[in-house]
Chains A and B, each alone.
Chain A
Amino acid sequence: DIQMTQSPSSLSASVGDRVTITCRASQGIRNDLGWYQQKPGKAPKRLIYAASSLQSGVPSRFSGSGSGTEFTLTISSLQPEDFATYYCLQHNTYPYTFGQGTKLEIK
């Protein structure tokens, strides 16, 4: 199975901060990766697909980059509604696998 190592597992930041979350794949997955945001009691929401394409309706402060084994999600200027848990998901090889999640909290 492809292991997705996501870091950090938690992050404390302030409104207006720039934040970066990283996922590393245990083997190359081309750009078959996306990012999800999940708020408590809610279903995941897709933010980024194909590593760097912004999902329709998602604010442009979210961006993704990377290919192969290293990927990043960047939030350029944190807003209050961005405090949530973020997951990466690889869909290159079965079984599909998620990173363990990054909980983004208010400092």
Chain B
Amino acid sequence: EVQLVESGGGLVQPGRSLRLSCTASGFTFGDDTMSWFRQAPGKGLEWVGFIRSKAYGGTTEYAASVQGRLTISRDDSNSIAYLQMNSLKTEDTALYYCARDRFPATWGQGTLVTVSS
């Protein structure tokens, strides 16, 4: 069974950093693009970005709203995708989902990030 489990969320002050993890199982992680999405409380879904597999260069794409502050990386040996979040803003408060593929069928359950002083 394909599973994605996010972790690392929590309460953080504006300007600080946080790293989210997405631990995958049930598929060959290294073969797939991994994506991140987010959903602010009571709001709609927003694409954050993704990282391609090594076979496609391991390159990344990001939404303009997070470019330069959020960085996606991957550890294929441990089947983990990361979202490094720097210079956090209050508007980054959201439930963060990782997902398998660019246009995903499989999502994790999400991890909540709250940016507040």
Instruction: Digitize B32-73: 1 where CB-to-A-CB distance is under 8 Å, 0 elsewhere.
Output: 000000000000111100000000000001111000000000
Give min CB distance, A98 to chain B, whole Å: 5
CB <8 Å contact, A95 and B45? no
Min C-beta distance of B37 to chain A, whole Å? 8
Interface-located stretch among A16-24, A41-49, A61-69, A75-83: A41-49
Partner of B63, one of A44, A95, A99: A95
- B105 near A95 with CB under 8 A, answer no
Bound Cα distance from A1 to B62, whole angstroms:
13
**Residue A7 is within 8 A (CB to CB) of chain B in the complex:** no
Prevailing SS type, chain A contact patch: loop
Q: How far is the CA of A43 from the CA of B45 in the complex (A)?
A: 10
Given A38-B45, A49-B105, A96-B47, 5 new contacts (CB under 8 A): A46-B104, A55-B105, A89-B45, A98-B46, A101-B45
Assess whether B97 is in contact with A98, with CB atoms less than 8 Å apart. no
Residues from chain B with a CB closer than 8 A to the CB of A49 are: 103, 105
Q: B-side interface residues toward A, CB under 8 Å?
A: 44-47, 61-64, 97, 102-105, 107-110
Q: How far is the CB of A70 from chain B (nearest CB, A)?
A: 19
Binding site for B on A (CB under 8 A): 1, 32, 34, 36, 38, 43-44, 46, 49, 55, 87, 89, 91, 94-101
A1 to chain B: which residues have CB within 8 Å? 64
- The answer, among A36, A38, A55, A94, for a CB contact under 8 Å with B61, is A94
> DSSP majority for the B interface?
loop
Give me 30 A-to-B residue pairs in the complex whose CB atoms sit less than 8 angstroms apart, sorted by A's number.
A1-B64, A32-B103, A36-B45, A38-B45, A43-B97, A43-B107, A43-B108, A43-B110, A44-B97, A44-B107, A46-B104, A49-B103, A55-B105, A89-B45, A89-B103, A91-B102, A95-B47, A95-B61, A95-B62, A95-B63, A96-B47, A96-B102, A96-B103, A97-B47, A98-B45, A98-B46, A98-B47, A99-B44, A100-B44, A101-B45
What are the nearest 5 A-B pairs in CB distance? A43-B107, A96-B47, A91-B103, A46-B105, A95-B63
Give Cα A97 to B44, complex, Å.
11
